[in-house]
Each structure stands twice: as structure tokens, then as C-alpha cells.
Amino acid sequence: MDLKDIQNLIKFVSKSGASEVKLEMEDVKITIKTGPAKTETTIVQQAPISAAPLVQVPQEVPQMKESTSGDKATEDDAKYVTIKSPIIGTFYRRPSPDKPLFVEVGSTINVDDTVCIIEAMKLFNEIESEISGKIVKILVEDSTPVEFDQPLFLVDPS
């Protein structure tokens, strides 16, 4: 992990709204803490034990879940736009248990409409749509954990 990667990680964490992120790899340990009054970054880097280069392989979480309408994922999904999770946390479809859902299959959304909430470290982050369209599929169950960049919704932009 080079300095450019670390700077990009710091920028991403500050934009995500998370108050603390810890990342540990074989030769690097990084803790990034953000808050309203301060931003603190601690980096501990040790020399690699072997001369072999460190290779990072992205891991994908399979997300072939059924939508609420019962349709299975098909090749037709390629024409839809995916709204993905910008952070790691717990996915919620409503602002509180006694409130209505933000969106359902068939709901029409506009840019900046709140589509869900993701709780990360006791902070509730409203996730806003970056596109306009119609919700075709909801890919995550309510109150379940989500990963960074995990698909949440399929939207028909037409």
C-alpha cells in the first residue's frame, strides 16, 4: 500500500461519514478517526518479511437474492443501474420501525431521494440516489449487514 492509496482511503473515510476505520494487512496497520473537531490518522508500517510483492485480490460477495416481487436475477438486469452501498454497516429500509419504507419495488425515485439508511458505528447514514428512475429490485433484506460496494437496488433509469 503506497502513500497515494492511503491518501485515497483517508478521503473516502472522511466522505463516508464513518467516525473510525481500522485496516490491518500483513505489513500495514492503519487507523483513521474522524470527528467534527479533529481528524487523526495513525499509520504503523513494518518492513515486509519476504521480497515477494503484496497482491490484493478483490473479494466479491455473491448477491443472487430474490427480489420482493419473486423475480430471479436474469440477464435483463444488465440494462438496469445498480445503487451500491458506499459504506460497511447494517441496511435499513425505513427510518424507524414505526415509519413507512423509503422505497419499494415499483417506486419512482429522483436524484437525492433517500432510498435507505446504513448504520455504521452507531451513526445512521441516509443513502441518497444518484439517479432518477424506477426501483426494479431490492437486493438486500431489511436489517442485514452490507459490505462496501455491495449492490442494494436495481433501478430502471428509463
Q: What is the CATH number of the domain that holds 151?
A: 2.40.50.100
Cα(132)–Cα(13) distance, rounded to whole angstroms?
26
- Any alpha helices (H) in the chain, and if so which ranges? 3-16
SS3 13: helix
- Number of neighbouring beta carbons within 10 Å of residue 73: 15
Q: Which of 49, 95, 67 is nearest to 151 (CA)?
A: 67
Cα(115)–Cα(158) distance, rounded to whole angstroms?
18
Q: Are residues 98 and 145 in the same domain?
A: yes
Cα(118)–Cα(124) distance, rounded to whole angstroms?
6
* Assigned domain for 64 exists: no
Q: Are residues 93 and 144 in the same domain?
A: yes
Q: What is the pLDDT along the chain (158 residues), one digit of tens a residue?
A: 666 777 777 777 777 777 777 777 777 777 777 765 444 555 555 545 444 454 454 555 444 444 444 444 455 677 899 999 999 999 999 999 999 999 999 999 999 999 999 999 989 999 999 999 999 999 999 999 999 999 999 999 87
Q: What is the pTM of this model?
A: 0.52
Q: Are residues 82 and 143 in the same domain?
A: yes
Q: Are residues 151 and 95 in the same domain?
A: yes
* Assigned domain for 54 exists: no
Range of the domain at 38: 3-45
